[in-house]
Every structure is written in structure tokens, then in C-alpha cells.
Amino acid sequence: MLRYDLHSHSTHSDGLLTPTALVRRAAERGVEVLALTDHDEVGGLAEAREAAFEAGIRLVNGAELSVSWRDVTLHVLAFRIDPSCPELIDGLASIREGRSGRARRIGESLAAAGIPDAYEGALKFVTSERLVSRTHFARFLVEAGHVRDTKEVFHRYLVRGKPGHVEHQWATLQQAIHWIHVAGGRAVMAHPGRYKVTPSGMRELLAEFRDEGGDGIEVISSSHTGAQTAEFARHARAFGLAASSGSDYHGPGESWVDLGDMPELPGGLVPVWKDW
């Protein structure tokens, strides 16, 4: 079986490596099929494709779309999309549009908690003027000495109930799935174990996702514990959803799991790449 890693980020969103450096690292680590899945963005795919050709690995055109469902933020992965599809391009632009204003509000919220100039500080870590994310604030908070590492940031700041959290409206689940499908792609629920929903809420989410045309869920993820992997493998079988696997790599020193460093999919699942 080929070695797949279907979730990674570059400097076109909140990753630390350029598309070229990311692809080279994946190839060196034995990844044979890599999906670049930048947040709300397909701008890195052309460079990644060229690098993948040179490195002799396969690149999957991907993206990770930000979605609001009830009061939860979800991420939906897109695989094998046509990055030149106008409807997808417009959809992604509409998701990105709100990010700058949101970042300013995050800055104001941190200022109110006694951390001034965080917006300007975060901008210093931004590597694509098209995309500012909480990750850039996290890097600023670490550099400014407010926390030890980016993992700790997301316990003490930037999450609901903590300084630097602001509510934000992303795309709807229907919109995200529609844009992905119009662009010829497959829609996969990213790291479902991360969402703070009750067990029945999760079943409702997965049922709605499937009924809207969603294709799969990310069973293997660096965000998942072993128990969550088993849980989402069961959900994938029960809901008739395909299974995916990805490291969600963001860069050296920042990610739990390096490119390609995942266990195999549990048995009895249909891999999302079955017909690729």
C-alpha cells in the first residue's frame, strides 16, 4: 500500500514551510501521496505540484475549509479539487474575507486582557497577506513570553472563555460541501475528535454531513487519541463514510506528528483514496 498523508499546511496559510520545502520533506520521509490542505486557500498548490513532480511523489490538490455549524467551528477537508474552479475560488475568498476583521477583534480582546499590540505582533508571523489565523497569534504569544509553546496557547488563550476568543461566522456546512463538489472534489470532515459536541451532537453532525453529500471523515489524525481513532472508525462504518488519514503537519517543532508518521487505517474501512 502507498503511504498517504492527506492533511498538511504551508506558508500559504499557517504552516512554517513553503510548499516546495513541505513536499521535499514529505518525500524524504517516505510519503508517496501528499495532500496540501491550506486553510481556505489553494494558492500553494501550483508550487507544490511542481515540487512533487521533481521529488517523484503524488500531490493531491486540497484545502481545509472553515465552517460554522451550530455554535461550533468545523474544518472540512477538500481532496482532488480543481483549484481553478471559479465557484470554489469565490467561496474560499468569501471565507477568508472575514479573517482580517476577526484578527483585529482578537487583538482588542487580548489588549483588554493586558496584552497590547498582539494584532501587529501576529502580523509579523503572517506569511501570506491573504491569510491571518490564530496560529499567528499563538506564535506571537510564545515569542512575547506569555506562554511556553503554541500548544499551551490554545489552553490559555484564543479559545472560548479565554482572552483572545472572538465569535466568528464561517461558511455553512452546505456551502463548503457544495463548493468542494462543484470543483470535482471529495469533502472529508477533518479531525472530528477536536469538536466540543456531545455524543448525540456528534451523531447529528455526521448524519447531517452525510445527508448533505459529505464523503468521508478523518479517522487517523494527530489530534486523535487511540480511543478517538477507534470511535471514529466505528462512526465511519456506521454512517457509510470513507476514512482518511493525515498528520495536519504545520512545521518543524510545532507538530505532534511529522509528515507521514501515522498508523495504518483500522480494518473494515473504505479509504477515501480507494478509487484514486
Q: Which is nearer to ligand AMP, 25 or 99 (CB)?
A: 99
Q: Which does 195 bind (CB under 5 to 8 A by kind): Mn ion, ligand AMP, none?
A: none
Largest CA-CA distance found in the chain, in angstroms, rounded: 53
In the complex, the residues that contact ligand AMP under the rule CB under 6 A are: 14, 39, 66, 133-135, 150-151, 154, 250
134 binds, among Mn ion, ligand AMP, none (CB under 5 to 8 A by kind): ligand AMP
Q: Which does 154 bind (CB under 5 to 8 A by kind): Mn ion, ligand AMP, none?
A: ligand AMP
Measured between its terminal Cα atoms, the distance across the chain in Å is 13
**Least gap, CB of 224 to ligand AMP (angstroms):** 13
Residues 78 and 180: their CA atoms lie apart, in Å, by 6
Please choose which of Mn ion, ligand AMP, none residue 150 contacts, taking the beta carbon within 5 to 8 angstroms, the exact cut-off set by kind: ligand AMP
User: Who's near 58: CB < 8 A, 6+ residues apart?
Assistant: 32, 33, 34, 52
List, edge to edge, every strand of the sheet that includes 186-189: 4-5, 33-36, 58-69, 72-79, 186-189, 216-221, 242-246
DSSP reduced 3-state for 194: helix
The C-alpha R_g of the chain, in whole angstroms, comes to: 18
What is the closest distance, in whole angstroms, from the C-beta atom of residue 182 to Mn ion in the complex? 22
Residue 261 CA to residue 220 CA, distance in Å, equals 11
Judged by beta carbon, residue 142 or residue 243, the one nearer ligand AMP is 142
Query: Shortest approach of ligand AMP to residue 213 CB, angstroms?
Result: 23
The one of ligand AMP, Mn ion, none whose footprint includes residue 229, by CB under 5 to 8 A per kind, is none
CB of 1 to ligand AMP, least distance (A): 28
Q: Are 247 and 258 in contact, with CB atoms under 8 Å apart?
A: yes
Nearer to ligand AMP, 133 or 244 (CB): 133
- Closer to Mn ion at the Cβ: 5 or 14? 14
> For Mn ion, which is the closer residue by CB, 14 or 47?
14
User: b/e for 204-229, b at 16 or more Cβ within 10 A?
Assistant: ebbeebbebebbbbbbbbbbbeeebb
**Shortest distance in whole angstroms from residue 66 CB to ligand AMP:** 6
Question: Which residues of the chain form contacts with Mn ion (CB under 5 A)?
Answer: 14, 64, 75, 190, 248
The distance of closest approach from Cβ of residue 142 to ligand AMP in the complex, given in angstroms and rounded to an integer, is 11
The angle at the Cα of 128, spanning 125 to 132, to the nearest 5 degrees, equals: 60
Compare residues 7 and 178 and give the one whose CB is closer to Mn ion.
7
Per partner kind, with CB cut-offs from 5 to 8 A, the member of Mn ion, ligand AMP, none near residue 215 is none
